Amino acid sequence: MVFFPGAVSVEATASAFAGRSDVRVGIQDVHWEAKGAFTGAVSVPMAAAAGATCVLVGHSERRHVFGETDADTARKLRAVLAGGLTPFLCVGEKLEEREAHQTEAVVLRQLRTACAGLSAEDLDRIVLAYEPVWAIGTGRNATPDDAAQVHRSLRGALDVLGARQVPVLYGGSVNAGNIVGLLARPEINGVLVGGASLDPLVWAEVIHLADGAVS
C-alpha cells in the first residue's frame, strides 16, 4: 500500500509509517531538475529527503489542469529514475478522446513518449497506471471489461518496449462498489484510488475488499 499525501505532509506521513514494511509513502509531483531556481517546485532529492520512495508522474491533473506535456512527463520520469525513486506513470484519455475512439492511440502515445529510450532495467522499475480522465472524481468509472481492454493494449506495448515486470494499475473513481470487479480481471494488477481514500471508514472498507479480492 502506497500513500501519496500533499507535499507538505510527506515527511509527517513517512514518520507515521516508519518501520511498516507493508506501507510506502510517495509524493504527488516533482520537478525534473535536481536543483536550480524553480521557486515552489519540489525536486526529487527534496522528496527523498522528506521520506518519499515513490512519485506520481503525469497524473491527469498535471497534464490537463497544469498543462504538463508528454515531453515534460518524460523528463520527470527520467529524473525520478535517476534519483532512485519508483515512478507511478499515469496515462489516460479525456472524454472527447474516448468518444472519438482514440483511447488506445492516446494512452499508447503517452506511454511510448515517456519511456522512449529507457533500458529494460529502468522500464521494470516503473509502475504504470491507466486513469481515464473522464473518470477522475466524477463518480464514473470504466467497466472491468473496458479497463481490461486498455490494460491489454498497454501490456502489449510494454512487451514491445522490453518491459517484463511492470504492474498496471487502474485509477478512476475506484470505490467499495467496484473494486472487487476490477481486481477480478487478471489484466488489472492493482488500483490507484483518489476520492475514496479521503474518508477513513470508506478507505478501510476499500482496503478490506481489495485484500479479499487478491487473497
Q: Into how many domains does the chain fold?
A: 1
Q: What is the pLDDT of residues 118-145, one digit of tens each?
A: 999 999 999 999 999 988 767 677 899 9
Do the domain assignments include residue 11? Answer: no
* Residue 215 scores a pLDDT above 70: no
Do the domain assignments include residue 8? Answer: no
Q: What is the pLDDT of residues 43-87, one digit of tens each?
A: 999 999 999 999 999 999 999 999 999 999 999 999 999 999 999
Do the domain assignments include residue 4? Answer: no
Q: What is the pLDDT of residues 7-23, one digit of tens each?
A: 999 999 999 999 999 99
Strands (E), the chain: 2-3, 24-27, 54-57, 86-91, 127-130, 168-171, 190-192
**The pLDDT value given to residue 136:** 75
Average pLDDT over residues 164-182: 94
Task: List, by residue number, the catalytic residues.
Answer: 59, 131
Do the domain assignments include residue 46? Answer: no
pLDDT band at 100 (very low <50, low <70, confident <90, very high): very high
Do the domain assignments include residue 35? Answer: yes
User: Containing domain of residue 71, as a range?
Assistant: 30-39+53-214
Cβ-proximal residues to 197 (8 Å cutoff; 6+ apart), any chain: 203, 206
Do the domain assignments include residue 17? Answer: no
Do the domain assignments include residue 14? Answer: no
Whole-Å CA distances, 38 to 34, 94, 147, 148: 10, 29, 37, 39
**The pLDDT value given to residue 135:** 82
**The pLDDT value given to residue 14:** 98
Average pLDDT over residues 80-99: 96
Q: Is the pTM of this model over 0.75?
A: yes
Q: How far apart are CA 153 and CA 132, in angstroms?
A: 14
Average pLDDT over residues 34-47: 97
Do the domain assignments include residue 23? Answer: no
